[in-house]
Every structure is written in structure tokens, then in C-alpha cells.
Amino acid sequence: MSAPRLLTRALVTSFLTVAIVLGAVFAVLSLRVRDQVRQAVGDNLASAQQVFTRVEARRQQDMRASVATLAENPTLKAALDTWLTERGSANEQTSGELLATVQREADKIADRVSADVLAVADGDRRIVASGGRLAASWPRGVVIGVREDASTPSDRALAVGSGMYHVVSVPLQLGEAIVGSLELGTALDAHYARELADLSRGHAAILSKGTVLASTVSGPAARDLASYKAPDTGGAHTMVLAGETWAVQPLSQLGDVTFLALASIDAAAAAGQTQAALRSLAWVGLGAIALAVLGSVWLARTLTQPIDHLSQSLAAMTTGDRPRQAVALSGTSRELDQLTTTFNSLLATVAKAEAEAEATYLGAVRALAAALDARDPYTAGHSERVSRFAVAIGEEMKLDAESRETLRLGALLHDIGKIGVPDEVLRKADALTAEEFESIKAHPSAGARILKSIPFLAPHIPIVELHHERPDGLGYPYGLRGEDIPLAARIVHVADAFDAMTSARAYRSGRIPVEAIAELRRCVGTDFDGPTVDALIAVLPRLVAAGEPVEPMVVQWAQRARSA
């Protein structure tokens, strides 16, 4: 299994990091949000409690004040006092009238106060007449509770009939004497629980001795409510109702009756803000992951590209293809740049060593070629000249630098095979015998064999081997035709022929260039390649101007050609 790519590694690392950080933030935030919701719900209930206390105190005070004023009703008092005096002994008719008067006054007062039910009671708190919304629940004759001791406050929670009421008593006085009372009842029922719930902006419950008198909580939570027990510490707390956590705030206590404000923390946490916060967090998370991915891709690219470049250069170096130029500094990181610099200097060293080795080889080859040329005084400097002519033709024919370099060395070595031709044959001024000519014709193949043993001269073999082939197929050693002959070999063939024609040879004296050119032109298509000959003609003046060691006659001709 191969190691993962740097890009993959960077991606995975950054993705994991972001995911872990986001996960942690998400978890912490969820918990914190829950805490805050709990806090907020608790605060809400606490403020509801304060509002309730104030509003309720004010309401009771107002009610008592108004009832106290209404209790100063002379007709009610007179009728009640007279009826109480005369009941039993009185005749039915008068008693009925008095009772009707009391009832009428009770109805009038009930209209003016906000109690659910109002009763006029005698000194024993037995109802004489009642009015208000729930008057039917407080019939005549029912006793409204009995007070245990004098310290009990005048408002209490009392069971009257089947219901539970918050009862406020106001005495009806005649001078110092008290003849009866006005009793104001607020039913502790669902209606009241709803009012409490509105006040606390949540839920409300009214409990007494382990039973739920009324509550706005519905379903299984309402059943669990009966098990409510006030904690010793008092104040706000939480309790679990039907698996949900609720914040509970006692609003007030009236005897055995407890008023509670409740709010479900879970419901509050599920709703609104929390979800919105978590949703925006999710968006932030997605954005962060996207950024992390982009960032790691960019980082990996800036790192991997120079590394790739370096490793390709290294690979090229080891396979033998010489890297052409130094690797550019990427500037992405100091370490990479250092590596690149080191690689470049290594490259330079290698290149230098190679160049030295080549130079050494070249020197040797040159020396060999020079030695070969020196065997025949007529051909002294021939290889150097052919080499320069060939390069000049190559330049004219727009060959690239590499091909020109090949051309230069190939031309220099083109006659290396003549090392195997005897001096007598080479220097012979007379016509050669067929046998001697065969030995001459063998020199390209001999040169190729020599070069094959030197690896870095391999590219020059075709030049050496094929520089006597002719476009018409009458050349040697293979008799190749036209385009089958490599261009480099064709160029060297033309350059060789031109130098041979313009220089003196053992077997003939050199011709002047004009004649040589005419001869070249004449033999285009048979002996010589046309474009190559044209290139040579085009390049001749330049060669002369550059002071090439062309034969004196060639120089003269060139001067003539320039002045013409």
C-alpha cells in the first residue's frame, strides 16, 4: 500500500481538525444554550412572581377598599340587622321583604366588585344572600369556614360547597358591634389558573394538600403535578413532569393552597432562539469546512508543485536525460527553496562534470581527427572546416541548437573511418584501382563502428555512416535515396564536397569556389540535396566575413562576390 498523497493528508488533517473543533463548539454551545434557556425561563418566572405579588396585592387592596366602602351601606346593614333580630319570631311576610332587600343590596355590591362571588353573611358567617357570577355555588345557609384563631388573616383559602375559594371578609359594623360580614370569593378554578398563566406568560397550577385544584398543564404532566413538593429552600427550582424538565416558581401560599408558575425548559429550548443559533452555527461550520478544504488544497499545491518539479528533475537526472535548466525557486517555503537551491547546485556540479567529460572526449576526438587530417598535407584542417560549414548551413536552415551541436561534432568526425585506409591509398595522386577505391568506400562504416563504442557519440553515427549517400541512390555504403538520408548527413555531404572542391587534394588541385558552386548546382538532385546547396550558397559571404579559414582562393572569390 502506498503512502497517501500530501494533498489527501492535508485535506484529511484540516477536515478532521475543523470537524473536532466544530463538534466541541457545538456541544459546549448546546449545553450553554440549555443553561441559558433554563436561566431565562427561571428569570421569567421570577419576574412573573414579582408581578403577580404586586398585582395580586394591589387587586386585593383595591377590592377590600371598594368593598369596605360598599359595606357602609345603610340599607343593607339596617335590613340585615333587622332581619337577624326578627328571624324566627317574625311573620313570614316582613321577613321575606327584609331578605329581599338584603339580596338586592348584595346583587348591587356584587356588580361593583371583581369577585367571582359575593355573600352577605351573619355573625356566624352563615350566608344570608349571595350575588355574582358563581352565586349559585354559595346558597343561603352555607357557613363560610370557621376561623381557628384571631391571628388568621382575613383572606384565606376555604372550601365552600364543592369548590375552593380565596375568601376575603369585610365586617359589617353598627357602631362597635359587628352584625355580619361581606364575603368575597375568588374561585380557585381553571379560570383563575388561566389568569395566572397569562400573568406568568407560561403555565400555572393551584395545588392543595397533594391535589391539583386547577392547572393549565395538560396531559400526563398534569398527573405528575400532584406529586409536587415544595423544596425546603423555597424559590425557583425544577421538577420533572412526564419526562420533561420544568422550571417551577411558587407564586404565593394561601393556607394549604400553593400557587405555582411553571414553564417547560425543554419546550423553550426546542423553540425559537436555540434552534436558530444552532442553525447559524451549522452554517458557520459548513463555511469553516469549505475554507479549510480550500486552504489545505492551496497549501498542498504550493508545496507539492515545487516538490513535483524537483522530483521530476531528479528522475530525469537518474534516467540520463540531462535536466536542461535549474529549477526556479518557488518562494513558498524556506525549506523548499533550500532544497531547490541544493538541487540546483548539485545539477550545476553534475552539468559541469559532464561538460568536462565531454570536453575531454571532444578534445580526444578532435585530436584524432586532426591527426587523421595531418596524414595527408592536402587535407590538413579539412574536418574543422567541414564542421564550421555544416554548422553555418544548419543555422541557415533554422536547425535547433541541439541539432547544430550534433552537426558540429558529426562533421568533425565524419572521416574518422579513414583511419583504416592505408596512407598510400590516401596520398595516391594517380587514379585508384577498384580495390583501392573499395577500401576508401569502407571508411563510413568503419567510422560508425568506431563511434558505437563511445555512448555519448551515438547521435553522430548517422552523419559519419551516411555522409557519402547521394539523393539519386548512387552513394555508399547503403545507396539510400532522397529523404531517407538524414538531413545532417546530407548537410555534411555538401560541406565535405565543397571543401574538397575548393582545397587542393593529392589527386587534383582545388577548384575556385565559383566553379565549385557551379559544380554543386549542376549535381543538385543527383549528388547533392537542393535546399542544402542553396543554404551553403546563401551562407558563404557570411563565412568569409567572419574570417573563416577558408582557402585563399575562396576568400578572394568571396571578396569578389561582395564587391559585385
Partner 1 sequence: MSRRLPVIAALAAVFFLAPRVSLVGTLLAQGANGRVTGSVKLTLANSAPSSAATYERRSVGPRPKPQPELHNVVIFFSDLPATRRAPMKASIAQKDEQFVPHVVAVTVGSSVAFPNEDPFFHNVFSLSRGASFNLGRYPSGSSRSRVVTRPGIIKVFCEIHSHMSAVIRVFDHPWFTSPSDEGTFAIDDVPPGEHTLVAWHERIGERRDRVTIRPGASTTINFTLPVLEPGQ
Chain residues binding partner 1 by CB under 8 A are: 68, 72-75, 77-79, 81-82, 85-86, 90-91, 94, 98, 101, 123-125, 147, 150, 154, 169, 171, 173-179, 181
**Please, are residues 249 and 45 in contact by the beta-carbon 8 Å criterion?**
yes
Task: Count the neighbouring beta carbons within 10 Å of the beta carbon of residue 105.
Answer: 22
**Please, are residues 215 and 204 in contact by the beta-carbon 8 Å criterion?**
yes
**Please, are residues 536 and 551 in contact by the beta-carbon 8 Å criterion?**
no
Cα–Cα separations (whole angstroms), residue 490 to 10, 154, 529: 57, 134, 6
Cα–Cα separations (whole angstroms), residue 263 to 44, 206, 267, 282, 455: 9, 14, 8, 28, 94
Task: Count the neighbouring beta carbons within 10 Å of the beta carbon of residue 224.
Answer: 18
Residue 291 identity: L
**Quick one: 147 or 521, whose CB is closer to partner 1?**
147
**Quick one: 79 or 109, whose CB is closer to partner 1?**
79
**Please, are residues 115 and 185 in contact by the beta-carbon 8 Å criterion?**
yes
**Quick one: 176 or 402, whose CB is closer to partner 1?**
176
**Quick one: 78 or 190, whose CB is closer to partner 1?**
78
CA gap 482, 294 in Å, rounded: 59
| Element of type H or E holding 146 | none
Q: Are strands 211-215 and 203-208 parallel, antiparallel or unpaired?
A: antiparallel
Instruction: Quote the least distance from Cβ 137 to partner 1, whole Å.
Output: 23
Instruction: Quote the least distance from Cβ 110 to partner 1, whole Å.
Output: 18
231: DSSP letter: -
Instruction: Quote the least distance from Cβ 81 to partner 1, whole Å.
Output: 6
Instruction: Quote the least distance from Cβ 108 to partner 1, whole Å.
Output: 14
**Quick one: 90 or 380, whose CB is closer to partner 1?**
90
Instruction: Quote the least distance from Cβ 93 to partner 1, whole Å.
Output: 9
Instruction: Quote the least distance from Cβ 256 to partner 1, whole Å.
Output: 20
Instruction: Quote the least distance from Cβ 252 to partner 1, whole Å.
Output: 22
**Quick one: 65 or 432, whose CB is closer to partner 1?**
65
**Quick one: 154 or 338, whose CB is closer to partner 1?**
154
Instruction: Quote the least distance from Cβ 28 to partner 1, whole Å.
Output: 59
Instruction: Quote the least distance from Cβ 89 to partner 1, whole Å.
Output: 9
Cell numbers standing for residue 440: 576508401
Starting at the earlier edge strand, list the strands of the sheet with 244-254.
211-215, 203-208, 257-264, 244-254, 237-241
Cell numbers standing for residue 206: 393551584
**Quick one: 34 or 126, whose CB is closer to partner 1?**
126
Long-range interactions of 387-390: CB distance < 8 A, separation 24+: 387/411, 387/412, 388/543, 388/548, 389/495, 389/498, 389/499, 389/536, 389/539, 389/543, 390/488, 390/491, 390/492, 390/495
**Quick one: 82 or 502, whose CB is closer to partner 1?**
82
